Chain A
Amino acid sequence: MNSQKFDHFVRRFVDLILLPCIGLGIVLVLWSISSATWAKELPSPTKTWEASKPYVVEPFAKRGEMDQGILRFTWYSLQLVAKGYVIALLIGTPIGFFLGLSKTFTKIFDPLIQILRPVSPLAWLPLGLVLFISMGKEAGTYGALFTIAICSMWPTVLNTAVGVRAVPQDYLNVGRVLKLSRWKTLTTILLPATLPYMFTGFRLSLGISWLVIVAAEMLTGTPGVGGFLWQEYNSLIYEHIILSIIVIGVVGFILDRLMSLVESRFKTA
Protein backbone atom coordinates (compact mmCIF):
# COMPACT_ATOMS: atom_id res chain seq x y z
CA MET A 1 0.00 0.00 0.00
CA ASN A 2 1.61 3.28 -1.00
CA SER A 3 1.46 6.28 1.28
CA GLN A 4 -1.17 8.18 -0.72
CA LYS A 5 -3.55 5.25 -0.63
CA PHE A 6 -2.85 4.84 3.06
CA ASP A 7 -3.60 8.51 3.73
CA HIS A 8 -6.85 8.14 1.88
CA PHE A 9 -7.72 5.06 3.89
CA VAL A 10 -6.96 6.82 7.16
CA ARG A 11 -9.05 9.80 6.19
CA ARG A 12 -12.01 7.61 5.29
CA PHE A 13 -11.64 5.71 8.55
CA VAL A 14 -11.63 8.96 10.52
CA ASP A 15 -14.56 10.43 8.58
CA LEU A 16 -16.80 7.38 8.51
CA ILE A 17 -15.99 5.59 11.76
CA LEU A 18 -13.95 7.58 14.24
CA LEU A 19 -15.84 10.89 14.12
CA PRO A 20 -19.33 9.32 14.27
CA CYS A 21 -18.12 7.20 17.19
CA ILE A 22 -17.11 10.35 19.04
CA GLY A 23 -20.66 11.66 18.63
CA LEU A 24 -22.05 8.37 19.87
CA GLY A 25 -19.65 8.42 22.83
CA ILE A 26 -20.72 11.91 23.89
CA VAL A 27 -24.37 10.85 23.85
CA LEU A 28 -23.60 7.71 25.86
CA VAL A 29 -21.73 9.76 28.47
CA LEU A 30 -24.55 12.31 28.78
CA TRP A 31 -27.04 9.43 28.98
CA SER A 32 -25.08 7.74 31.79
CA ILE A 33 -24.69 10.98 33.71
CA SER A 34 -28.39 11.75 33.35
CA SER A 35 -29.50 8.35 34.54
CA ALA A 36 -27.13 8.58 37.49
CA THR A 37 -28.11 12.10 38.56
CA TRP A 38 -31.32 13.95 37.68
CA ALA A 39 -33.32 11.31 35.80
CA LYS A 40 -33.30 8.42 38.25
CA GLU A 41 -35.90 6.43 36.30
CA LEU A 42 -33.86 6.53 33.11
CA PRO A 43 -32.07 3.20 32.76
CA SER A 44 -28.33 3.44 32.20
CA PRO A 45 -26.79 2.22 28.91
CA THR A 46 -25.58 -1.02 30.49
CA LYS A 47 -28.94 -1.75 32.11
CA THR A 48 -30.65 -1.04 28.80
CA TRP A 49 -28.41 -3.48 27.01
CA GLU A 50 -28.95 -6.22 29.59
CA ALA A 51 -32.72 -5.84 29.52
CA SER A 52 -32.79 -5.69 25.72
CA LYS A 53 -30.49 -8.63 25.14
CA PRO A 54 -33.18 -11.33 24.77
CA TYR A 55 -34.97 -9.19 22.18
CA VAL A 56 -31.83 -8.48 20.22
CA VAL A 57 -30.01 -11.82 20.26
CA GLU A 58 -33.20 -13.68 19.36
CA PRO A 59 -34.69 -11.06 17.08
CA PHE A 60 -37.35 -13.33 15.59
CA ALA A 61 -38.50 -15.12 18.74
CA LYS A 62 -42.21 -15.23 19.51
CA ARG A 63 -42.95 -15.70 23.19
CA GLY A 64 -46.36 -14.08 23.24
CA GLU A 65 -48.52 -11.47 21.47
CA MET A 66 -46.58 -8.53 22.90
CA ASP A 67 -43.37 -10.38 23.78
CA GLN A 68 -41.53 -11.00 20.56
CA GLY A 69 -38.06 -10.45 19.12
CA ILE A 70 -37.44 -6.87 18.06
CA LEU A 71 -37.00 -7.64 14.38
CA ARG A 72 -40.23 -9.62 14.39
CA PHE A 73 -42.00 -6.50 15.67
CA THR A 74 -40.16 -4.44 13.08
CA TRP A 75 -41.33 -6.83 10.40
CA TYR A 76 -44.98 -6.37 11.47
CA SER A 77 -44.58 -2.62 11.40
CA LEU A 78 -42.88 -2.67 8.02
CA GLN A 79 -45.70 -4.73 6.53
CA LEU A 80 -48.27 -2.21 7.71
CA VAL A 81 -46.12 0.68 6.52
CA ALA A 82 -45.69 -0.93 3.11
CA LYS A 83 -49.45 -1.24 2.65
CA GLY A 84 -50.19 2.30 3.77
CA TYR A 85 -47.31 3.65 1.72
CA VAL A 86 -48.45 1.92 -1.46
CA ILE A 87 -51.95 3.32 -0.97
CA ALA A 88 -50.43 6.78 -0.49
CA LEU A 89 -48.44 6.50 -3.73
CA LEU A 90 -51.37 5.13 -5.71
CA ILE A 91 -53.56 8.03 -4.61
CA GLY A 92 -50.91 10.73 -4.33
CA THR A 93 -49.18 10.37 -7.70
CA PRO A 94 -52.30 10.89 -9.87
CA ILE A 95 -53.41 13.80 -7.68
CA GLY A 96 -49.96 15.31 -8.12
CA PHE A 97 -50.22 14.90 -11.88
CA PHE A 98 -53.60 16.60 -12.00
CA LEU A 99 -52.33 19.43 -9.81
CA GLY A 100 -49.34 19.89 -12.09
CA LEU A 101 -51.34 19.75 -15.29
CA SER A 102 -54.44 21.77 -14.50
CA LYS A 103 -54.50 25.25 -13.05
CA THR A 104 -58.21 24.93 -12.29
CA PHE A 105 -57.66 21.69 -10.42
CA THR A 106 -54.91 23.40 -8.44
CA LYS A 107 -57.19 26.31 -7.54
CA ILE A 108 -59.91 23.92 -6.39
CA PHE A 109 -57.79 21.61 -4.27
CA ASP A 110 -54.61 23.42 -3.32
CA PRO A 111 -56.11 25.37 -0.37
CA LEU A 112 -57.58 22.14 0.96
CA ILE A 113 -54.25 20.34 0.64
CA GLN A 114 -52.40 23.13 2.37
CA ILE A 115 -54.86 22.88 5.28
CA LEU A 116 -54.82 19.09 5.55
CA ARG A 117 -51.06 18.74 5.13
CA PRO A 118 -49.97 19.96 8.57
CA VAL A 119 -52.54 17.85 10.44
CA SER A 120 -50.77 15.45 12.79
CA PRO A 121 -51.18 11.68 12.46
CA LEU A 122 -52.44 11.67 16.04
CA ALA A 123 -55.39 13.74 14.88
CA TRP A 124 -56.14 11.56 11.85
CA LEU A 125 -56.07 8.26 13.67
CA PRO A 126 -59.30 8.64 15.69
CA LEU A 127 -61.07 9.66 12.48
CA GLY A 128 -59.67 6.55 10.79
CA LEU A 129 -60.95 4.37 13.60
CA VAL A 130 -64.40 5.96 13.29
CA LEU A 131 -64.41 5.53 9.49
CA PHE A 132 -63.72 1.80 9.73
CA ILE A 133 -65.70 1.15 12.88
CA SER A 134 -67.84 -1.36 11.00
CA MET A 135 -64.75 -3.54 10.51
CA GLY A 136 -64.89 -4.52 14.18
CA LYS A 137 -61.60 -6.02 15.31
CA GLU A 138 -59.86 -4.93 12.12
CA ALA A 139 -60.79 -1.27 12.65
CA GLY A 140 -57.40 -0.60 14.23
CA THR A 141 -55.48 -1.90 11.22
CA TYR A 142 -57.64 -0.06 8.71
CA GLY A 143 -57.52 3.09 10.76
CA ALA A 144 -53.74 2.86 10.87
CA LEU A 145 -53.55 2.32 7.10
CA PHE A 146 -55.82 5.31 6.54
CA THR A 147 -53.63 7.46 8.77
CA ILE A 148 -50.37 6.37 7.13
CA ALA A 149 -51.80 6.92 3.66
CA ILE A 150 -53.27 10.35 4.33
CA CYS A 151 -50.25 11.65 6.23
CA SER A 152 -47.56 10.33 3.95
CA MET A 153 -49.06 11.17 0.57
CA TRP A 154 -48.48 14.94 0.68
CA PRO A 155 -44.79 14.97 -0.27
CA THR A 156 -45.62 12.69 -3.21
CA VAL A 157 -48.53 14.91 -4.25
CA LEU A 158 -46.57 18.14 -4.03
CA ASN A 159 -43.32 16.88 -5.54
CA THR A 160 -45.14 15.27 -8.44
CA ALA A 161 -47.04 18.50 -9.03
CA VAL A 162 -43.85 20.56 -8.96
CA GLY A 163 -42.18 17.99 -11.22
CA VAL A 164 -44.95 18.15 -13.80
CA ARG A 165 -44.83 21.93 -13.78
CA ALA A 166 -41.07 21.87 -14.13
CA VAL A 167 -41.11 19.80 -17.32
CA PRO A 168 -39.30 22.07 -19.75
CA GLN A 169 -41.61 23.61 -22.33
CA ASP A 170 -39.10 22.51 -24.96
CA TYR A 171 -39.82 18.86 -24.26
CA LEU A 172 -43.53 19.51 -24.57
CA ASN A 173 -42.93 21.44 -27.79
CA VAL A 174 -41.17 18.40 -29.21
CA GLY A 175 -44.36 16.48 -28.54
CA ARG A 176 -46.49 19.20 -30.09
CA VAL A 177 -44.40 19.44 -33.25
CA LEU A 178 -44.58 15.65 -33.64
CA LYS A 179 -48.32 15.76 -32.91
CA LEU A 180 -48.06 13.07 -30.26
CA SER A 181 -51.37 11.99 -28.77
CA ARG A 182 -52.17 13.00 -25.19
CA TRP A 183 -51.47 9.49 -23.95
CA LYS A 184 -48.20 9.27 -25.85
CA THR A 185 -47.12 12.67 -24.53
CA LEU A 186 -47.89 11.52 -21.00
CA THR A 187 -45.98 8.25 -21.25
CA THR A 188 -43.04 9.32 -23.38
CA ILE A 189 -42.45 12.88 -22.19
CA LEU A 190 -44.29 13.92 -19.02
CA LEU A 191 -43.81 10.78 -16.99
CA PRO A 192 -40.07 10.28 -17.57
CA ALA A 193 -39.41 13.99 -17.12
CA THR A 194 -41.27 13.98 -13.80
CA LEU A 195 -39.76 10.75 -12.43
CA PRO A 196 -36.85 12.35 -10.54
CA TYR A 197 -39.25 14.66 -8.69
CA MET A 198 -41.67 11.81 -8.08
CA PHE A 199 -38.97 9.73 -6.46
CA THR A 200 -37.95 12.57 -4.19
CA GLY A 201 -41.58 12.67 -3.11
CA PHE A 202 -41.64 8.90 -2.69
CA ARG A 203 -38.61 9.02 -0.43
CA LEU A 204 -40.03 11.78 1.78
CA SER A 205 -43.35 9.93 1.91
CA LEU A 206 -41.65 6.77 3.07
CA GLY A 207 -40.00 8.68 5.90
CA ILE A 208 -43.35 10.03 7.00
CA SER A 209 -45.05 6.61 6.80
CA TRP A 210 -42.44 5.25 9.17
CA LEU A 211 -43.00 8.20 11.49
CA VAL A 212 -46.74 7.63 11.46
CA ILE A 213 -46.67 3.88 12.04
CA VAL A 214 -45.22 4.29 15.50
CA ALA A 215 -47.94 6.73 16.55
CA ALA A 216 -50.64 4.58 14.98
CA GLU A 217 -49.46 1.42 16.70
CA MET A 218 -49.21 3.17 20.04
CA LEU A 219 -52.82 4.28 19.87
CA THR A 220 -54.28 1.10 18.39
CA GLY A 221 -52.15 -1.36 20.35
CA THR A 222 -51.25 -3.32 17.24
CA PRO A 223 -48.21 -5.55 17.62
CA GLY A 224 -45.20 -3.79 16.12
CA VAL A 225 -42.31 -1.61 17.29
CA GLY A 226 -44.61 1.25 18.26
CA GLY A 227 -47.09 -1.02 20.02
CA PHE A 228 -44.23 -2.69 21.87
CA LEU A 229 -42.85 0.66 22.93
CA TRP A 230 -46.15 1.83 24.38
CA GLN A 231 -46.82 -1.50 26.10
CA GLU A 232 -43.41 -1.52 27.75
CA TYR A 233 -43.97 2.03 28.94
CA ASN A 234 -47.20 0.91 30.57
CA SER A 235 -45.39 -2.10 32.07
CA LEU A 236 -42.69 0.23 33.43
CA ILE A 237 -39.92 -1.56 31.48
CA TYR A 238 -38.21 1.64 30.39
CA GLU A 239 -35.17 -0.12 28.92
CA HIS A 240 -37.35 -1.36 26.09
CA ILE A 241 -38.51 2.15 25.25
CA ILE A 242 -34.92 3.05 24.49
CA LEU A 243 -34.41 -0.17 22.53
CA SER A 244 -37.49 0.64 20.45
CA ILE A 245 -36.36 4.19 19.79
CA ILE A 246 -32.99 2.97 18.57
CA VAL A 247 -34.58 0.36 16.31
CA ILE A 248 -37.09 2.86 14.91
CA GLY A 249 -34.28 5.28 14.15
CA VAL A 250 -32.05 2.71 12.52
CA VAL A 251 -34.85 1.26 10.40
CA GLY A 252 -35.94 4.75 9.33
CA PHE A 253 -32.38 5.56 8.36
CA ILE A 254 -32.01 2.35 6.34
CA LEU A 255 -35.30 2.96 4.54
CA ASP A 256 -34.18 6.46 3.63
CA ARG A 257 -30.84 5.23 2.32
CA LEU A 258 -32.50 2.53 0.25
CA MET A 259 -34.90 5.06 -1.27
CA SER A 260 -32.01 7.42 -2.02
CA LEU A 261 -30.35 4.64 -3.96
CA VAL A 262 -33.51 4.09 -5.99
CA GLU A 263 -33.95 7.83 -6.38
CA SER A 264 -30.45 8.39 -7.69
CA ARG A 265 -31.07 5.77 -10.37
CA PHE A 266 -33.82 7.93 -11.78
CA LYS A 267 -31.87 11.16 -11.85
CA THR A 268 -31.81 12.32 -15.43
CA ALA A 269 -29.66 15.13 -16.68
Chain B
Amino acid sequence: MSFLELKNVSKSYGGTPVLRDVNLSIAEGEFVAIVGYSGQGKTTLMSLIAGLTKPDSGSLTLSGQPITGPGPDRGLVFQNYSLLPWLTVAENIELAVKAVFPDQTPAECTAHVDKYIAMVKLSHAKDRRPSQLSGGMRQRVSVARTLAINPRILLLDEPLSALDALTRANLQDEISSIWQSDRKTVVLITNSVDEALLLADRVIPLTLGPGATLAASIPIDLPRPRDRKALNHDPQFKRLRAQITEQLLGFGASRTSSTTRKLVLPDIMPENLDAPRVNRPPRRLSEEKQETVVSL
Protein backbone atom coordinates (compact mmCIF):
# COMPACT_ATOMS: atom_id res chain seq x y z
CA MET B 1 0.00 0.00 0.00
CA SER B 2 1.26 3.41 -0.86
CA PHE B 3 2.26 5.87 1.80
CA LEU B 4 1.26 9.12 0.14
CA GLU B 5 -1.56 8.89 -2.35
CA LEU B 6 -3.18 11.55 -4.56
CA LYS B 7 -6.26 10.54 -6.53
CA ASN B 8 -7.70 12.69 -9.32
CA VAL B 9 -6.68 15.88 -7.59
CA SER B 10 -7.68 19.07 -9.39
CA LYS B 11 -7.18 22.66 -8.41
CA SER B 12 -7.97 25.91 -10.15
CA TYR B 13 -7.47 29.51 -9.18
CA GLY B 14 -10.06 32.01 -10.28
CA GLY B 15 -11.41 29.83 -13.06
CA THR B 16 -7.99 28.93 -14.45
CA PRO B 17 -7.27 25.26 -13.95
CA VAL B 18 -3.78 24.81 -12.51
CA LEU B 19 -3.72 21.11 -11.85
CA ARG B 20 -6.04 18.57 -13.40
CA ASP B 21 -6.50 14.93 -12.43
CA VAL B 22 -3.20 14.50 -10.67
CA ASN B 23 -2.54 10.94 -9.55
CA LEU B 24 0.48 10.15 -7.47
CA SER B 25 1.42 7.24 -5.31
CA ILE B 26 4.58 7.19 -3.24
CA ALA B 27 5.89 4.32 -1.16
CA GLU B 28 7.35 4.79 2.29
CA GLY B 29 11.05 5.63 2.18
CA GLU B 30 10.94 6.58 -1.46
CA PHE B 31 12.61 9.69 -2.90
CA VAL B 32 10.47 11.12 -5.68
CA ALA B 33 11.34 14.15 -7.76
CA ILE B 34 8.77 16.13 -9.73
CA VAL B 35 10.28 18.21 -12.52
CA GLY B 36 8.58 20.84 -14.58
CA TYR B 37 8.59 24.40 -15.81
CA SER B 38 8.17 27.36 -13.53
CA GLY B 39 4.65 28.59 -13.00
CA GLN B 40 3.03 25.31 -13.96
CA GLY B 41 1.58 24.38 -10.60
CA LYS B 42 4.52 22.69 -8.92
CA THR B 43 4.20 24.85 -5.86
CA THR B 44 0.44 24.40 -5.88
CA LEU B 45 0.96 20.66 -5.84
CA MET B 46 3.26 21.03 -2.86
CA SER B 47 0.79 23.27 -1.02
CA LEU B 48 -1.89 20.64 -1.58
CA ILE B 49 0.25 17.88 -0.10
CA ALA B 50 1.26 20.15 2.77
CA GLY B 51 -2.40 20.91 3.35
CA LEU B 52 -1.94 24.66 2.96
CA THR B 53 -4.52 24.70 0.16
CA LYS B 54 -7.48 22.44 -0.40
CA PRO B 55 -8.13 20.67 -3.72
CA ASP B 56 -11.29 21.43 -5.70
CA SER B 57 -11.80 17.74 -6.22
CA GLY B 58 -9.98 14.49 -5.61
CA SER B 59 -8.45 13.07 -2.48
CA LEU B 60 -5.09 13.13 -0.75
CA THR B 61 -4.13 10.57 1.86
CA LEU B 62 -1.07 9.99 3.98
CA SER B 63 -0.87 6.37 5.12
CA GLY B 64 -4.61 6.03 4.62
CA GLN B 65 -5.54 9.18 6.56
CA PRO B 66 -7.04 11.99 4.46
CA ILE B 67 -5.03 15.24 4.45
CA THR B 68 -7.33 17.99 5.67
CA GLY B 69 -4.92 20.71 6.75
CA PRO B 70 -1.31 21.54 7.42
CA GLY B 71 0.54 19.63 10.10
CA PRO B 72 4.02 18.83 11.30
CA ASP B 73 3.81 15.25 10.00
CA ARG B 74 4.60 16.73 6.58
CA GLY B 75 7.74 18.79 6.83
CA LEU B 76 7.78 21.48 4.19
CA VAL B 77 11.01 23.17 3.17
CA PHE B 78 10.03 26.40 1.52
CA GLN B 79 11.54 27.72 -1.67
CA ASN B 80 12.44 31.04 -0.06
CA TYR B 81 13.54 29.56 3.28
CA SER B 82 10.81 31.29 5.30
CA LEU B 83 13.03 31.84 8.29
CA LEU B 84 11.75 34.43 10.70
CA PRO B 85 14.25 37.28 10.33
CA TRP B 86 13.94 38.50 13.91
CA LEU B 87 14.99 35.15 15.37
CA THR B 88 18.46 33.60 15.40
CA VAL B 89 19.20 30.29 13.75
CA ALA B 90 18.77 28.43 17.03
CA GLU B 91 15.59 30.33 17.91
CA ASN B 92 14.04 29.60 14.53
CA ILE B 93 14.57 25.88 15.03
CA GLU B 94 13.59 26.07 18.68
CA LEU B 95 10.26 27.64 17.75
CA ALA B 96 9.47 24.60 15.60
CA VAL B 97 10.76 22.07 18.12
CA LYS B 98 8.80 23.62 20.98
CA ALA B 99 5.63 23.68 18.91
CA VAL B 100 5.91 20.03 17.90
CA PHE B 101 7.42 18.56 21.07
CA PRO B 102 5.84 20.63 23.84
CA ASP B 103 6.66 18.02 26.49
CA GLN B 104 10.43 18.31 26.17
CA THR B 105 12.36 19.77 29.08
CA PRO B 106 14.38 22.89 28.24
CA ALA B 107 17.61 20.84 28.29
CA GLU B 108 16.18 18.24 25.93
CA CYS B 109 14.96 20.96 23.66
CA THR B 110 18.36 22.67 23.50
CA ALA B 111 20.08 19.35 22.82
CA HIS B 112 17.54 18.55 20.11
CA VAL B 113 18.05 21.94 18.44
CA ASP B 114 21.84 21.67 18.65
CA LYS B 115 21.79 18.21 17.11
CA TYR B 116 20.02 19.40 13.98
CA ILE B 117 22.10 22.55 13.69
CA ALA B 118 25.16 20.30 13.81
CA MET B 119 23.62 18.02 11.18
CA VAL B 120 23.61 20.88 8.66
CA LYS B 121 27.06 22.03 9.87
CA LEU B 122 25.98 25.40 11.20
CA SER B 123 26.98 25.10 14.87
CA HIS B 124 29.29 28.08 14.47
CA ALA B 125 26.41 30.26 13.25
CA LYS B 126 23.67 29.26 15.65
CA ASP B 127 23.37 32.70 17.21
CA ARG B 128 23.28 34.61 13.95
CA ARG B 129 20.19 36.00 12.36
CA PRO B 130 19.11 34.97 8.86
CA SER B 131 20.20 38.31 7.42
CA GLN B 132 23.76 37.49 8.46
CA LEU B 133 23.74 34.20 6.58
CA SER B 134 24.31 33.38 2.93
CA GLY B 135 21.49 31.91 0.86
CA GLY B 136 22.90 28.41 1.15
CA MET B 137 23.23 28.69 4.91
CA ARG B 138 19.67 29.94 5.21
CA GLN B 139 18.36 27.02 3.26
CA ARG B 140 20.35 24.65 5.48
CA VAL B 141 18.71 26.21 8.52
CA SER B 142 15.36 25.72 6.86
CA VAL B 143 16.18 22.07 6.19
CA ALA B 144 17.36 21.62 9.78
CA ARG B 145 14.17 23.19 11.08
CA THR B 146 12.09 20.79 9.04
CA LEU B 147 14.14 17.72 9.95
CA ALA B 148 14.03 18.70 13.63
CA ILE B 149 10.26 18.28 13.82
CA ASN B 150 10.78 14.72 12.62
CA PRO B 151 8.14 14.70 9.87
CA ARG B 152 6.94 11.44 8.32
CA ILE B 153 7.45 12.86 4.87
CA LEU B 154 9.76 15.62 3.70
CA LEU B 155 8.43 18.07 1.11
CA LEU B 156 11.14 20.02 -0.68
CA ASP B 157 9.68 22.82 -2.78
CA GLU B 158 12.46 23.94 -5.15
CA PRO B 159 14.68 24.26 -2.11
CA LEU B 160 17.83 25.04 -4.05
CA SER B 161 16.55 27.07 -6.96
CA ALA B 162 17.61 30.41 -5.50
CA LEU B 163 21.19 29.34 -4.91
CA ASP B 164 24.30 29.61 -7.03
CA ALA B 165 25.51 26.50 -8.81
CA LEU B 166 28.33 25.60 -6.40
CA THR B 167 26.26 26.01 -3.26
CA ARG B 168 23.52 24.11 -4.97
CA ALA B 169 25.81 21.18 -5.69
CA ASN B 170 27.03 21.15 -2.09
CA LEU B 171 23.54 21.14 -0.70
CA GLN B 172 22.45 18.43 -3.11
CA ASP B 173 25.20 16.23 -1.72
CA GLU B 174 24.17 17.10 1.82
CA ILE B 175 20.52 16.29 1.18
CA SER B 176 21.61 13.06 -0.46
CA SER B 177 23.71 11.99 2.50
CA ILE B 178 21.07 12.97 5.05
CA TRP B 179 18.51 10.97 3.11
CA GLN B 180 20.81 7.95 2.89
CA SER B 181 21.19 7.95 6.65
CA ASP B 182 17.52 7.98 7.64
CA ARG B 183 15.61 7.07 4.49
CA LYS B 184 12.68 9.36 4.99
CA THR B 185 10.02 9.62 2.33
CA VAL B 186 10.85 12.69 0.25
CA VAL B 187 8.99 14.60 -2.44
CA LEU B 188 11.32 17.01 -4.21
CA ILE B 189 10.04 19.61 -6.60
CA THR B 190 12.65 21.00 -8.93
CA ASN B 191 13.22 22.51 -12.33
CA SER B 192 16.60 20.87 -12.67
CA VAL B 193 16.70 17.51 -14.38
CA ASP B 194 20.23 16.87 -13.15
CA GLU B 195 19.21 17.51 -9.57
CA ALA B 196 16.30 15.12 -9.89
CA LEU B 197 18.51 12.42 -11.41
CA LEU B 198 21.15 12.84 -8.74
CA LEU B 199 18.78 12.52 -5.82
CA ALA B 200 15.62 10.64 -6.71
CA ASP B 201 14.48 7.04 -7.01
CA ARG B 202 11.81 8.12 -9.41
CA VAL B 203 11.33 11.22 -11.56
CA ILE B 204 7.89 12.43 -12.58
CA PRO B 205 7.61 15.17 -15.21
CA LEU B 206 4.83 17.70 -14.80
CA THR B 207 3.10 18.65 -18.06
CA LEU B 208 2.48 22.21 -19.10
CA GLY B 209 -0.58 24.02 -17.81
CA PRO B 210 -3.18 25.31 -17.69
CA GLY B 211 -4.47 22.15 -16.15
CA ALA B 212 -1.10 20.50 -15.70
CA THR B 213 -0.89 16.90 -14.64
CA LEU B 214 1.79 14.35 -13.89
CA ALA B 215 3.23 12.33 -16.74
CA ALA B 216 4.27 8.71 -16.37
CA SER B 217 7.02 8.29 -13.82
CA ILE B 218 10.53 7.26 -14.79
CA PRO B 219 12.41 5.01 -12.38
CA ILE B 220 16.02 6.06 -11.85
CA ASP B 221 17.97 2.89 -11.35
CA LEU B 222 21.35 4.50 -10.96
CA PRO B 223 23.34 2.92 -8.13
CA ARG B 224 23.82 4.88 -4.90
CA PRO B 225 25.73 6.70 -3.61
CA ARG B 226 25.73 8.72 -6.78
CA ASP B 227 28.82 10.72 -7.52
CA ARG B 228 28.17 13.78 -9.59
CA LYS B 229 31.50 13.64 -11.40
CA ALA B 230 31.17 9.99 -12.32
CA LEU B 231 27.53 10.43 -13.31
CA ASN B 232 28.45 12.85 -16.05
CA HIS B 233 30.08 9.99 -17.94
CA ASP B 234 27.53 7.34 -17.03
CA PRO B 235 25.68 6.25 -20.21
CA GLN B 236 22.55 5.36 -18.21
CA PHE B 237 22.51 8.85 -16.67
CA LYS B 238 22.95 10.47 -20.07
CA ARG B 239 20.15 8.41 -21.53
CA LEU B 240 17.75 9.30 -18.70
CA ARG B 241 18.64 12.94 -18.84
CA ALA B 242 18.06 13.07 -22.57
CA GLN B 243 14.77 11.24 -22.20
CA ILE B 244 13.39 13.52 -19.48
CA THR B 245 14.66 16.72 -21.06
CA GLU B 246 13.13 15.78 -24.36
CA GLN B 247 9.87 14.93 -22.71
CA LEU B 248 9.78 18.29 -20.96
CA LEU B 249 10.66 20.15 -24.14
CA GLY B 250 8.04 18.15 -25.96
CA PHE B 251 5.35 19.64 -23.71
CA GLY B 252 5.77 22.76 -25.78
CA ALA B 253 8.92 24.73 -25.36
CA SER B 254 7.68 27.39 -27.72
CA ARG B 255 4.78 28.15 -25.44
CA THR B 256 5.04 30.95 -23.00
CA SER B 257 2.71 31.59 -20.18
CA SER B 258 2.14 34.76 -18.32
CA THR B 259 0.69 35.40 -14.96
CA THR B 260 -0.77 38.75 -14.05
CA ARG B 261 -0.87 39.81 -10.48
CA LYS B 262 -2.22 42.86 -8.82
CA LEU B 263 0.17 45.07 -6.93
CA VAL B 264 -1.04 47.56 -4.41
CA LEU B 265 1.61 50.17 -3.95
CA PRO B 266 2.06 51.76 -0.56
CA ASP B 267 1.01 55.33 -0.08
CA ILE B 268 4.22 57.13 0.71
CA MET B 269 4.62 60.69 1.77
CA PRO B 270 7.99 62.18 0.96
CA GLU B 271 9.84 62.77 4.17
CA ASN B 272 13.44 62.66 3.24
CA LEU B 273 14.78 65.06 0.67
CA ASP B 274 18.09 63.19 0.58
CA ALA B 275 16.50 60.15 -1.03
CA PRO B 276 18.22 59.17 -4.26
CA ARG B 277 16.56 60.34 -7.43
CA VAL B 278 14.68 57.62 -9.25
CA ASN B 279 13.82 57.79 -12.90
CA ARG B 280 10.13 57.37 -12.56
CA PRO B 281 7.27 59.51 -11.37
CA PRO B 282 6.25 59.04 -7.73
CA ARG B 283 3.54 56.46 -7.30
CA ARG B 284 0.60 56.51 -4.98
CA LEU B 285 -1.91 54.17 -3.44
CA SER B 286 -4.48 55.25 -5.96
CA GLU B 287 -2.46 53.60 -8.69
CA GLU B 288 -3.15 49.94 -8.44
CA LYS B 289 -0.72 48.41 -10.81
CA GLN B 290 -0.82 45.15 -12.61
CA GLU B 291 2.39 43.29 -13.10
CA THR B 292 2.74 40.71 -15.79
CA VAL B 293 5.40 38.10 -15.47
CA VAL B 294 6.19 36.10 -18.55
CA SER B 295 7.70 32.75 -17.92
CA LEU B 296 8.55 29.86 -20.16
Q: Are B70 and A176 in contact (CB under 8 A)?
A: yes
In the complex formed, the residue of A with least CB distance to B91 is: A188
A180 at the interface (CB under 8 A from B): yes
Find out whether the CB atom of A177 lies under 8 angstroms from the CB atom of B84: no
B149 close to A (CB within 8 Å) = yes
Interface size range on A against B? 10 to 19
Known contacts A173-B70, A269-B130, A178 near B95 by CB under 8 Å = yes
- Indicate whether A179 sits within 8 Å of B70 (C-beta atoms), given known contacts A170-B78, A171-B82: yes
Q: With contacts defined as CB atoms under 8 Å apart, how many contacts are there between chain A and chain B in the complex?
A: 55
A173 near B99: Cβ-Cβ < 8 Å:
no
Docked CA distance A176–B84 (Å): 14
* Bound form: Cα–Cα A174–B100 in Å: 12
In the bound complex, do residue A192 and residue B86 qualify as a contact, i.e. CB atoms below 8 Å apart? yes
- The minimal Cβ–Cβ distance linking A229 to chain B, given in whole angstroms, is 26
Which residues from B are CB-within-8-Å of A184? 99
In contact, B99 and A178 (Cβ under 8 angstroms): yes
How far in angstroms is the closest Cβ of chain B from A68?
33
B interface residues, how many (CB within 8 angstroms): 24
Alpha-carbon separation in the docked complex, A174 to B84 (Å): 9
Chain B facing A: main interface SS: loop
B100 close to A173 (CB less than 8 A): no
Q: Tell me if A174 and B82 are in contact (CB < 8 A).
A: yes
| A170 with B82: CB separation less than 8 A | yes
- Residues A180 and B99 in contact in the complex (CB < 8 Å), given A192-B86, A268-B85: yes
Instruction: Report chain A residues within 8 Å CB of B71.
Output: 177, 179
Residues of A within 8 A of B74 (CB): 177
Which residue of chain B has its CB nearest to the CB of A195?
Answer: B86
* A248 close to B (CB within 8 Å): no
Sample (12) of A-B pairs whose CB atoms are under 8 Å apart = A168-B82, A171-B82, A171-B84, A173-B50, A173-B52, A173-B78, A173-B82, A174-B82, A176-B70, A177-B72, A177-B76, A268-B131
| Chain B residues packing against A (C-beta within 8 Å) | 50, 52, 69-72, 74-76, 78, 80, 82, 84-86, 95-96, 99-100, 129-131, 149, 266
In the complex, besides A177-B52, A193-B86, A268-B86, 6 extra interface pairs with C-beta distance below 8 angstroms are: A168-B82, A174-B78, A177-B70, A177-B75, A180-B99, A192-B86
A residues contacting B by CB (< 8 A) are 162, 168, 170-171, 173-174, 176-180, 184, 188-189, 192-193, 195, 268-269
